[in-house]
Structure 1
């Protein structure tokens, strides 16, 4: 007697996989968030996350502001509010942006749940599936996640020591349009770039803007770090050069505290109307209590002096990072020298792969973000982002020492056994900075 054929019974972890919208299938976890569980262990020196250091924030002053807000105006501050954001905060945001040369009207500002939501709303109202977004190479991992979630195609544009390359931008626009695709906007971080650490000069901003205007291309200027420069006055924002071509994203996460989750979008009036409608459909209104709290802080506290304190703290940490890299990185390693912000972009010696090296680094109790997280096209394996904003200078020095030992070991393994990485396989746009050691 023959036995019956066995019946195959497949199982799957997600019973709803066939029901999701097509855009949900492209969603992936952030490479940085995936590191948190390991990087937050006390024995690990985390040079990975870009978490602002609020140790120098005057909590007594903030606590007093919040206390008075609840006692004096709690019934308003804890109620629903405007989908566009509270008028008094929008007026204060105009004062803040004026420090970078931006002249704006409060009516053209939409308050958001951090600048991340602002980018999400902008992408939602402009992009259809298959539309192209131009980004620097590398680019902010959170922006790449937004563009992926709306099924956009990201095309990277080369950078150099001054940021986005205008000639490469011109060529990218032409290539995309010749391929029959629509370019919806250029996304750029001109100040203390995340992750590259470089800054566009005023001349470079003018050149990039000229290319965008000639191509009738919208520019999305993401500027969370603009007031955190270590030397001199802020460079005028791209938005200060053209009010019609540029949509500006700002945030209180880096200059005050990220837990309040308040950012904003400054956009041309017609775009602002669409943003408010999108905001209302997403959240009804941005967090009212957070807006009142930040507004009271700005009104009652010397926030300019507080930003100066933050700048000095981050400068000390930047200096520690650069000193540690100079002392501990092996020959063939290079990195950018940021003039502000949170990040250094490291180029590894030939043959090393930051993604495959990460487990060994974590074992050596140091964490970083592999460069591949900042590209939509799989590049960046020879790069890593190091963050100096949160650890103490002493911890930063120790982290670079541990990282240097990992690199030395990887290089010795490659020297002994060879490497499968083809040295000519890296595109020029992978390396925006120098300082070869």
Structure 2
């Protein structure tokens, strides 16, 4: 097990003088906190005897029905019997890896990919085979080539892990045509798909993208989360799996934590029953759209020549590529010294690639803070370009005695 680069940054990034473009913390300021307080009180007074007791490892039946309603927005027709509630989607990822992966197995994943997924796969001694992405998501031809090579080598591929919509960290979305290709390729190779979709409902415009699970219910395990569309503090996520897999996940959940927080499940269930949650999700999307526009505008106006970045249509993140000869991990202490934080790209690869990349998060800071953070960051990059032009490709710099965390992220 290794430290997460994002988690390692939190201590520094939480300083009030530092503009953090690092952690992907949902912004809960738009939540109706008074109404949530009333819901909590109602659950205690009306359902206290149940809410404060042990529950099922699969999760509250009423909440699972509501989860099916949430997934229907992405075209998924599901039975509550095949839903298992988890402690965030992160626990679902851990349980699925525990059930499927033996030491030496291969997990195929996008490059770059969610850092804590990489940590989970490593903890169960899986090897990660990366597949190249571009601005339209994972490249089907690269996926086909990777699966063919692994088959020829006699390797056991347990699943293809993907964040297809507003991806973490790149912010890109797999196009409908590529979704069809990915489903066809994985079916042909007999490979299960693990679709991690915490951001799918947080698009800035239009209807939600149709989930992979909607078109291949027997070949896709779907992971969802209330952390982004409600609050991470409830620690509530879920997995939707074919029945045989779901039964194993319930057993794994029982051994891991016996049962979930009944109290939190009932509060979330009450929220979904009584609050216009679809409108609330739209409110979140509009808020994040404004922050994303602030970041993209600042990048367009301030970043030096040679930098490029993705332009997300939803979610939390922008993926920035530095000019040749710069190293985002080596540059981080200088950035923190200038009171701005980001996540180096190396944390999102299993093979130490990504040195010219960084993840910038726009979800939590205000638009004013985002613009100021980009201004500070652009100054650091300009100085690094000047050093490169003077001394050549140097990957380590003195930090004037200022220490920054040694990153490794989610």
Per the TM superposition, whether the score is higher than 0.5 is yes
From 145, 158, 164, give the equivalent of 1:184.
158
* Superimposed CA distance per residue, residues 6-39 of structure 1 (whole angstroms, 9 cap, x where no aligned partner): xxxxxxxxxxxxxxxxxxxxx1110000001100
For 2:136 and 2:167, how far apart are their aligned partners in 1?
10
For 1:417 and 1:207, how far apart are their aligned partners in 2?
46
Q: How does 1:110-125 map to 2 (within 5 A)?
A: 110-125=84-99
Contact 2:388 2:394 survives alignment (8 Å): no
Which residue does 2:390 correspond to in 1? 416
From 299, 306, 314, give the equivalent of 1:332.
306
For 1:372 and 1:145, how far apart are their aligned partners in 2?
13
Where do 5+ consecutive residues of structure 2 fail to align? Answer: 396-410
Q: How does 1:70-81 map to 2 (within 5 A)?
A: 70-81=44-55
- 1:135 and 2:113 matched: no
Where do 5+ consecutive residues of structure 1 fail to align? Answer: 1-26, 422-437
Deviation at 1:180, TM superposition (A): 2.1
- 1:106 and 2:80 matched: yes
Which residue does 1:234 correspond to in 2? 208
Q: For CA contacts below 8 A with separation 6 or more, give which structure has more relative contact order.
A: 2
Deviation at 1:179, TM superposition (A): 1.8
For 1:238 and 1:286, how far apart are their aligned partners in 2?
27
From 201, 225, 228, give the equivalent of 2:199.
225
Q: How does 1:16-415 map to 2 (within 5 A)?
A: 27-415=1-389
For 2:318 and 2:198, how far apart are their aligned partners in 1?
16
The DSSP-based 3-state class of the residue aligned with 2:323 is coil
* Superimposed CA distance per residue, residues 306-333 of structure 1 (whole angstroms, 9 cap, x where no aligned partner): 1111011000000000011111110000
For 1:355 and 1:177, how far apart are their aligned partners in 2?
34
Q: Structure 2-normalised TM-score?
A: 0.96
Deviation at 1:153, TM superposition (A): 0.1
Displacement over 2 Å in runs of 4+: none
Deviation at 1:286, TM superposition (A): 1.7
RMSD, aligned CA: 0.7
For 2:369 and 2:257, how far apart are their aligned partners in 1?
40
Which residue does 2:404 correspond to in 1? none
For 1:313 and 1:350, how far apart are their aligned partners in 2?
34
The DSSP-based 3-state class of the residue aligned with 2:158 is strand
Contact 2:161 2:195 survives alignment (8 Å): yes
* Superimposed CA distance per residue, residues 48-91 of structure 1 (whole angstroms, 9 cap, x where no aligned partner): 00000000100000000000100111110111001100000000
* Superimposed CA distance per residue, residues 220-275 of structure 1 (whole angstroms, 9 cap, x where no aligned partner): 00000010000100111000001100000000000000000010000000000000
Deviation at 1:420, TM superposition (A): 4.3
For 2:111 and 2:270, how far apart are their aligned partners in 1?
39
The DSSP-based 3-state class of the residue aligned with 2:31 is coil
The DSSP-based 3-state class of the residue aligned with 2:112 is coil
* Superimposed CA distance per residue, residues 107-142 of structure 1 (whole angstroms, 9 cap, x where no aligned partner): 000000000000000000000001000000000001
Contact 2:326 2:394 survives alignment (8 Å): no
For 2:340 and 2:160, how far apart are their aligned partners in 1?
35
For 1:286 and 1:172, how far apart are their aligned partners in 2?
38
For 2:59 and 2:187, how far apart are their aligned partners in 1?
30
For 2:175 and 2:277, how far apart are their aligned partners in 1?
26
For 1:102 and 1:285, how far apart are their aligned partners in 2?
26
For 1:190 and 1:265, how far apart are their aligned partners in 2?
16
The DSSP-based 3-state class of the residue aligned with 1:403 is helix
For 2:363 and 2:46, how far apart are their aligned partners in 1?
36
* Superimposed CA distance per residue, residues 402-425 of structure 1 (whole angstroms, 9 cap, x where no aligned partner): 00000000000111111147xxxx
The DSSP-based 3-state class of the residue aligned with 2:223 is strand
For 1:269 and 1:416, how far apart are their aligned partners in 2?
61
* Larger Rg computed on CA atoms: 1
The DSSP-based 3-state class of the residue aligned with 1:134 is strand
* Superimposed CA distance per residue, residues 367-426 of structure 1 (whole angstroms, 9 cap, x where no aligned partner): 0000000000110000000000000000000000000000000000111111147xxxxx
For 2:54 and 2:296, how far apart are their aligned partners in 1?
47
